[in-house]
Amino acid sequence: MSQQTKPAAFQHIMVCINSRPASGQPSCARRGSEALAEHIEAQIQALDLDLTLQRTICFGHCQEGPTVRLAPGGPFLQFADVPTVDALLAQLVTDKRIANLLPGALKSREKK
Ligand code: FES
């Protein structure tokens, strides 16, 4: 009989709020990540999630922002928007160890 190990629970949700105004390159901030972070923060409180929001600077996925990541060790959520993060947070209400996180939302969304 094999013994399965449950994945660790996520403790943080990280949102890139980096802006690269001088370079003219795309960035998460230009695509509304600060407002998205504020929305996530409000939803964490509304849903009473045991999760902290961390605003961070650049995951290196600037072409695909806004970029969000669950930590520790979670997948990147790219082209993140309010409906996607709401779906993510709804899943986290029931299980903070999401094994297959919104597979359709990970890297497969069309560029805006
Ligand atoms: S600006 Fe957000 S990943 Fe680089």
How many folded domains does the chain comprise? 1
pLDDT score of 91:
85
CA of 62 to the centre of ligand 1 (A): 4
In a domain, 3, yes or no: no
Could you tell me which residue, 42 or 107, shows the higher pLDDT?
42
- Res 105 pLDDT > 60: no
Nearest to 86 by CA among 46, 28, 34: 46
8-state DSSP, 60 = S
- Ligand 1: residue of 14, 17, 19, 27 to mutate (most ligand atoms within 8 A of CB) is 27
Domain that holds residue 31: 12-97
The CATH number of residue 90's host domain is: 3.40.30.10
| Token pair 């069309």: residue | 110
Q: Provide the pLDDT confidence category of residue 6 given band limits of 50, 70 and 90.
A: low
pLDDT score of 5:
59
